[in-house]
Structure 1
Amino acid sequence: MPTSADLPQATFASKVEVAGDKVSVTREVDGGLETLSLSLPAVITSDLRLNEPRYVTLPNIMKAKKKQLDTVSPADLGVDVAPRLKTLKVAEPPKRGAGIKVPDVATLVDKLKNEARVI
């Protein structure tokens, strides 16, 4: 199975059409609309305009309260959730010193040349 880095990608999709092993993705760009054609499998991220939201009704809320909830563990799905990263140390960055005010540009240039040695 290829990793997501090896797959074609389309971001901010506002319209997605699948046809066989190809997908056509339309996205909004500054100059108008851009349509991309990708082969599947692909990574596609969506824009808010992709779908019309469905609003829940009171009768459906009442029906949902009566539904049974099945609890599934990662092991039931064959997923290994063992940590693969180990944090060795966490430290705050060093505190920044207070800045200084200079009276004019000549003093600023002098400090940048002689003290900071950046120019």
Structure 2
Amino acid sequence: QAIDDDANQTGQMLAALLDWPQATNASKVEVQGDHVQVTREVDGGLETLSLTLPAIVTTDLRLNEPRYVTLPNIMKAKKKPLETLAPADLGVDAAPRLKTLKVTEPPTRSAGIKVPDVATLVEKLKNEAKVI
């Protein structure tokens, strides 16, 4: 589950930042040496892509069958040590790459008006708004 509200942006943005190949909505993934075969559903059926590794692959719900955690496994997991890594430990530069120059509110909109009939609406669109 991505942090982008299921808008399919995170994987694509990461691929662009890293300049790596990408495949989105994968329903089947097969790694073959230094390549990966990705099958995805498209409007006309299935599409198979071959990417060189390293690559970014985002997945579809059909990729696997979810497993449900049992209570004994939850208890075992609580006892396992949790390793915390900083981005620098992985050789990743987490410095901000964007700079906000300024933030301003949009201009306030004027109140709308009610028109009595279609003829008046057309006349106002034509003469005042000049959109038709």
Q: Do both proteins adopt the same fold according to a TM-score greater than 0.5, normalized to the shorter chain?
A: yes
Q: Which moved more, 1:15-24 or 1:3-12?
A: 3-12
Counterparts of 1:58-97 in structure 2, within 5 Å, are: 58-97=71-110
**Aligned-partner Cα distance in 2 for 1:23–1:47:** 16
Aligned positions, number = 117
**Aligned-partner Cα distance in 2 for 1:102–1:114:** 14
| Matching residue of 2:127 | 114
Could you list the runs of 5+ residues in structure 2 that have no partner in the other structure?
1-13
Higher-Rg member (1/2): 1
TM-score by length of 1: 0.76
Which one has the bigger helix percentage?
2
% identical equivalent positions: 82
TM-score by length of 2: 0.70
1:4 aligned residue (15, 20, 23)? 15
Deviation beyond 4 Å, 4+ runs, structure 1: none
Task: Identify the structure with bigger relative contact order (alpha carbons < 8 Å, sequence gap 6+).
Answer: 1
| Matching residue of 1:22 | 35
Counterparts of 1:29-48 in structure 2, within 5 Å, are: 29-48=42-61
Please tell me the root mean square deviation across aligned C-alpha atoms, in Å.
2.4
